[in-house]
Every structure is written in C-alpha cells, then in structure tokens.
Amino acid sequence: MDSNINIIINGYPKSGTTWLTKLVGDLLDCPVKGFWQYGDDYLTTTGTERVSTFACYKSHHTYEELQDQLDDHTKLIYIVRDPRDIVVSGAYHFSFLPLRVKSLLRRIIKSPTKRMKASHVLDKLISLSKRKSMMIGLVNGQSQYQLKWMSRSWQEHITAFKDKKVFILRYEDLLEDTAEECRKTLSFLDYELSDDQLDHIVKNNTFESQKQQYIESQDYFNTRLLRKGKQQQWRDELTPDQVTRITQPNLSLMLHYGYY
C-alpha cells in the first residue's frame, strides 16, 4: 500500500464508537488520532507513536458532512446500536445543564476535568429530566444543550448511511462475538492477521479490559465514556411509556437492524 489510508469510525453518540475506534487501531497497529477534523486534546488518541499507512479517527458526523471526503484513501465504518440503550447510556453520560449554568461553571472552575465533574454532580440532581432530554434528542434531534452531534435524530443519522457503500456493524454483535466482527472488519479493509494475533488483540480490547486501562491511567473522560458496555440495559431502566416513545417513530429502522 503506497498511500496513507484514513479509517473513520462513525456512529450516533453512545453507539460504541470509542471502543471500536481503539479496537480497529489495534487491529491495524496504527495510530488513533482522535476525532475526525477536530484537534481537541480531550478526545480519544492512542498509539500515536505507531508508524503505519493507516490512521484511525472517531466520528459522529452526518453523511452530508463526510460524503465529499470518502474516496480510495478514506474508508468509513459505521456502528449501529439499539436506540433504547443509547438513551440509557446518553442520559448517564451527557450533561444536560442549561447553557447559562454551563457558562457560569466555565467562569468559576478553570480546570476542564473539575468542571466536568461538577457538571455531572449537578446532573444527578436532575436525572429524570436528563433521560427525557436524551429521548427528545434521539427521536427528534436537538441542540438546545450544545450537543452538536445530536442535532439530527437517530433515524436521520443512520438512514443517510444505510444505503451507501459503507461497512456497517452492530454494537451488539461486536459484544457477542468480537473476533468474528473483527474478521469482517479486516476483510472490508483488505488486511490480514493470524488467528493468534487476532485473539491477543480481542482479549486486550474487551470492554472490561479497556475500562480498567482508562481507570488505571486516571483517564476520567474515557472512563465515563465506557460506563457498562452491555446490551438491553433499557429493560431495567426505561418505563413502558419511554420504550413506546422511542420505538414508535423508529420501528421500521429497528426492525431492519433486528432490534424489535
């Protein structure tokens, strides 16, 4: 391969993009350079010392934002997750504080890490409204809380990628048989690994292993990103009414991906 290849790992927020980006970076033994087109230092980067013809990036961009950048030197992998679990995970992770409160915290607390911790303490006091806000964002799209990557609904975001020449995998399949989904991914990228190499990488990239590594390195941001990593959490967390409000407008797409 005589040219550099960028691998963009895309998906709706809280669909497993962080985990999959790190995993693909390890499979290809290439640097993970953070968020596509963004240089913020809090975003996921790893293996920056690796020398490779590949480079991996995390992304939540819409198809419209990426379509002109996809060519022979830029490959796209899209990960899908049950929207009911996205709501549960996002309600725990995102800060839904009003903008005026965020602005006040920014003036009072200079450290980004301490500001994030304070924000999530306040979030706990409004946990019920957080889940409602997450549902509204997923079903209708919204940017009221500066959640840029949820300005489109889950359905709109995925549908734009569904019928394009994009490699799509499910978060749930990646959980259940990581090695098999890795083989499919490697085939898409026309890259080969021995069974021993693949088994070692898969073992080192289980959800539990990755979270422990972030905890040991005191990486607060990514530790929060990887909360539980389980499927069907919604069964214990959502009310029947909440499930209905998520599934009704998304039923066709959920059926397509085996979520209903």
CATH value at residue 168: 3.40.50.300
Please give the pLDDT value at position 31: 94
Output the furthest CA–CA distance in the chain (Å, rounded).
54
Classify residue 163: in a domain, yes or no.
yes
The verdict on residue 67 lying in a domain is yes
Residue 248 within a domain: no
**By the 8 A CB rule, do 212 and 34 touch?**
no
DSSP string computed for 77-103: EEEE--HHHHHHHHHHHS----HHHHH
pLDDT reported for residue 1: 42
Q: Is 51 within the bounds of a domain?
A: yes
Q: In this structure, is residue 149 part of a structural domain?
A: no
**116, part of any domain:** no
pLDDT of residue 90: 84
- Residue 144 has a pLDDT of 61
Which of 43, 30, 35 lies closest to 4, judged by CA?
30
130 part of a folded domain:
no
- Average pLDDT of each block of 10 consecutive residues along the chain (260 residues)? 81 92 95 84 76 94 92 93 92 61 63 67 61 86 71 94 90 94 96 95 80 61 58 87 95 95
pLDDT value for 229: 63
Tokens, residue 172: 């749930």
pLDDT at 123: 57
In degrees and rounded to multiples of 5, residue 99 shows phi and psi of -60, -35
- Burial class of residue 208 (count of CB atoms within 10 Å of its CB; 0-12, 13-18, 19+): exposed
This prediction's pTM? 0.80
* Distance of alpha carbon 229 from alpha carbon 222, whole angstroms: 13
Domain of residue 166, residue span? 5-82+154-223
pLDDT at 92: 77
Tally of structural domains, the chain: 1
Is residue 19 included in any domain, yes or no?
yes
Gap between the Cα atoms of 246 and 254, Å rounded? 10
Whole-number Å distance between alpha carbons of 76 and 149: 17
